[in-house]
Amino acid sequence: MGESLSHAPPQNEAVHESSGGATSPGSTPVPGGDAESGVELHSAGDRDISAGSARYHGAVHWLAKLLTVAVFPLIWVGGLVTTYDAGMAVPDWPGTYGWNMFAYPPSTWLFGPFDLLVEHSHRLLGTVAGFLSIGLVVVSYYCENRSWFRHWAVLILVAVIVQGALGGARVLLDERMIAMIHGCFGPLFFAAATATAVMSSRWWIERQWRTEATTNAHGRPWLAWMATTLWISCYGQLVLGAQLRHVTGWVSPRVFTGFVHGHLAMAGLVLLLVLVVALAATLQRATPKRVAGPARWLVGLVFLQISLGIGTWIVNYALPWPEMHRELAAYTILAKGYWESFVVTAHMATGSLIISFATVVALRAWRSQADKVSEQWTQPAM
């Protein structure tokens, strides 16, 4: 009565033949079906518990990974644009000083003023992300049989178009508020690209039924919710940081101090959450390695981010207790210096990288939980 599917198929489920032949009554059915034999399982309610006939497509997955990798330097160079206040280095858009963006002479922007190099490079990297998004849509509609994923690919394309339009509006209107929105939307797109790579992976589609879906997943819903909370906290922390990075003259000292305290408080919350998630993922034997691995990487990234945050404060405002550190008190802040700009931009970019890793952990944790729910659903009733 309480046997699992690995012993015998329930009587109310039908095993279908495929072009590769029929399965014998003594064969071992697998939840989600078998990708090679075409075996599918159906319940008494005729509900399909297979993987929706989903198949892994390397072209889709590699395009998604290329898009994710391409977005990170785009964010880094975008951070340099803000660090060097180079947003208006090119006053027109979508062209560059009246030229087509792609026809603008390389000798002019490669060997010209640094702010021109940064701004024009940022635009070119944005077009790379745009072209990869277009390719992802085309390949997804040609290869993918998951309709929701095809729609998701279209949303990715729409998102990159919106992000580009925000960048153009920032230039045409010369509005710092739009620059801040543009800067906050970039990490969201990075997270969406990361999610696309995760959801198009072989592990996500095949779900490793034979190795992981049969394990005891007790506690994984809690881990998935904690990982989701971590993601929300990381993005909230980034938004608060954007308030400090794009500060304008209208911000009073009291408001600025409030932003600083809120940023520090959120940093403490993120640190606490990432330690809890990494510890839980490591100690729970049922947690897949695909979840525990990125969770441990997150710990290192958060500690790196804290160090970069301290460095960012020093290179921007020096230490609040200079009398206690004579060497640091003698440090002269150099506006837009090489190392100062590197530390500040690295702090911004690492925040986006943390959000990307948190996306991986949360999605894989929820996917593992979905595997367990599907496995329990396939158990025959008493």
Largest pairwise CA distance in the chain: 82
pLDDT tens digit sequence for 127-172: 999 999 999 999 999 999 899 999 999 999 999 999 999 999 999 9
State pTM to two decimals.
Answer: 0.79
Domain regions of the chain by residue span: 1-53, 58-377
Please determine, for residue 203, whether its predicted confidence score (pLDDT) is greater than 60.
Answer: yes
Distance CA(217)–CA(47), nearest Å, equals: 23
pLDDT of residue 276: 95
User: Is pLDDT of 319 > 90?
Assistant: no
Among 129-143, 166-180, 329-343, 367-381, the range with the most confident prediction by mean pLDDT is 129-143
Which amino acid appears at position 30 of this protein? V
For residue 88, give every residue at least 6 positions away whose Cβ sits within 8 Å of its Cβ, in sequence order, or none.
171, 174
Q: Which of 89-103, 120-134, 152-166, 196-210 has the lowest mean pLDDT?
A: 196-210
Query: Is residue 230 predicted with pLDDT exceeding 90?
Result: yes
Candidates 130, 70, 132, 69; CA nearest to 94 is 130
Most confidently modeled range among 15-29, 56-70, 332-346: 56-70
Terminal CA-CA length for the chain: 6
